[in-house]
Amino acid sequence: MKSHTVHRTFETRERREFVRITEDVQEAVDESGVQEGMVLVSAMHITAGVWVNDDEPGILEDALEWLDKLAPPSWREPGTAVARELLPDGGDYRHHRGGEDNGDAHFKNLLVHHQVVLPITGGRLDLGPWQQVFYAEFDGQRRKRLIFKVIGE
Amino acid sequence: MKSHTVHRTFETRERREFVRITEDVQEAVDESGVQEGMVLVSAMHITAGVWVNDDEPGILEDALEWLDKLAPPSWREPGTAVARELLPDGGDYRHHRGGEDNGDAHFKNLLVHHQVVLPITGGRLDLGPWQQVFYAEFDGQRRKRLIFKVIGE
Amino acid sequence: MKSHTVHRTFETRERREFVRITEDVQEAVDESGVQEGMVLVSAMHITAGVWVNDDEPGILEDALEWLDKLAPPSWREPGTAVARELLPDGGDYRHHRGGEDNGDAHFKNLLVHHQVVLPITGGRLDLGPWQQVFYAEFDGQRRKRLIFKVIGE
């Protein structure tokens, strides 16, 4: 069995941002020499995720807006009545008692999930034609890490 | 290390549908000869998912109804005030500017997740007694693919 | 390739509860002797999940409250108008026709997801500094199982 590990650091310009990383993951697979196996792509943070979806700007913008409704930030006025009700009952996250303001990003991490496992066949990511891999940053503008772990042979 | 790959094509009769695939996954495990390892079960589309849950018709019907509230289609009137608010602010998905109508299916893919990894012990899927594997189609009635990738020994 | 399997049983005191299991997973990795690989941590039930997040009591309490809004129990009055609308249209889960009362726990399982795959580097879980692994029980107070499956070399 072969294995190969890559740690990558991201610092997004925006607080919330999708960053396409399909090519970075394929590069890690190439370096590994693995022809048949799997690669784990996992955020090393609790306020970020990994999403496999369409590299189409509309859906990515839709997704950030929608995630703000389901997992609303408390650092700005909720835009809808639903978002207001989905905030914690006391009006702010208990998590913020320690000085944080990113409770919503923890919930976005829960919804999106922090990791995916991708299949490798014949040395290539075995994805469908529209599947692209995105690092999903929900509390950025600082250095954060991602791990790619390739195993197989 | 052994590996085995199966690509399966599904074409559901309904636009949204859960299709039980536990036995198909076990068949791929049998073909692989793997006794100890893992199998990745992954939709190759951005409007479908894989869910491990109960093969009980009530909960599956509940799930499709509930997913339509959280990730509402815009091709029909939202059934509730919550669904209306969870639609994009402009009333329709930005993603639909290109002629698509399946923005909701992308969000259902996000919620359900497009893949699972299942344990193999003694050549069998090591699942709990009520765990069944479902292909979750959210934009069907056309040919779509799923991959099973077995690794282990 | 090495592999190692551990089945663990949990019986939580509360109906809903997060139980930190990072150390248990590391122990399984230690027992396996695997230096480079992955470990699958998977609930064997359809009303539980596994979440990697912060071991900070505020966010965990926030999460249980928020999950009750998105995936509302029907065994108590919904606390908000949103939760009321997110209940099934008939007022109760179809799943409960068979005598169950845990439909909400199935949906929490969907949102949180029932499994994660964690990277192992140099014999250690390769997690970020705030990442802790939690067993997420949504219908507890009875014996339920979790599997750790380590593979690598």
Name residues whose C-beta falls within 8 Å of residue A77's C-beta, 6 or more positions apart in sequence.
none
- Measured in angstroms, the CA of C26 and the nearest CA of chain B are apart by 18
Q: What was the pLDDT predicted at B60? A: 98
Short-list A108, A98, A34, CA closest to A71: A108
CA–CA separation, C109 and B92 (whole Å): 29
For C97, which of B58, B151, B152 is closest by C-beta distance? B58
- CB < 8 Å to A3, chain C: 36-37, 152-153
Task: Give all strands of the β-sheet with A48-53 in edge-to-edge order.
Answer: A17-20, A132-137, A48-53
- Tens of pLDDT, residues B93-141: 999 999 999 999 999 999 999 999 999 999 999 999 999 999 999 999 9
Q: What was the pLDDT predicted at B6? A: 98
Q: What was the pLDDT predicted at B5? A: 98
Give CA separation, B6 vs A151, B24, C31, in Å: 18, 10, 32
- CB < 8 Å to B151, chain A: 36-38, 151-152
Q: What was the pLDDT predicted at A21? A: 98
- Tens of pLDDT, residues A115-141: 999 999 999 999 999 999 999 999 999
- CB < 8 Å to C97, chain B: 58
Residues of A with CB under 8 A from a CB of B: 1, 36-38, 51-54, 56-59, 61-63, 65-66, 69-70, 79-83, 111-113, 116-121, 126-128, 130-131, 151-153
For testing contact with chain A, the best of B25, B41, B44 (most A CBs within 10 A): B44
ipTM above 0.90, yes or no: yes
For A126, which of B70, B88, B147 is closest by C-beta distance? B147
**Contact (CB<8Å) C70/B70:** yes
- Tens of pLDDT, residues B5-20: 999 999 999 999 999 9
Q: Where are the alpha helices (DSSP H) in chain B?
A: 22-32, 57-70, 81-86, 103-112
**Contact (CB<8Å) A95/C56:** yes
Q: What was the pLDDT predicted at A98? A: 92
- Measured in angstroms, the CA of C129 and the nearest CA of chain B are apart by 25
**Contact (CB<8Å) C38/A151:** yes
CA–CA separation, A111 and A108 (whole Å): 5
- Tens of pLDDT, residues A20-38: 999 999 999 999 999 999 9
For C113, which of B58, B69, B113 is closest by C-beta distance? B113
- CB < 8 Å to B97, chain A: 58
Q: What was the pLDDT predicted at C127? A: 98
Q: What was the pLDDT predicted at C116? A: 98
Which segments of chain C have a pLDDT < 50? none
**Contact (CB<8Å) B149/A119:** yes
Q: What was the pLDDT predicted at B92? A: 97
Quote the percentage of chain B above a pLDDT of 90: 99
Number of inter-chain CB pairs under 8 A, A vs C? 105
For testing contact with chain B, the best of A62, A86, A149 (most B CBs within 10 A): A62
**Cβ atoms within 10 A of the Cβ of C12, count?**
19
- CB < 8 Å to C86, chain B: 66, 69-70, 82
CA nearest to B85 within chain C: C82
What SS3 state is found at A148?
Answer: strand
Beta-strand pair A37-43/A115-121: antiparallel
Mean pLDDT, range A73-91, rounded to an integer: 95
- CB < 8 Å to B98, chain A: 56, 58
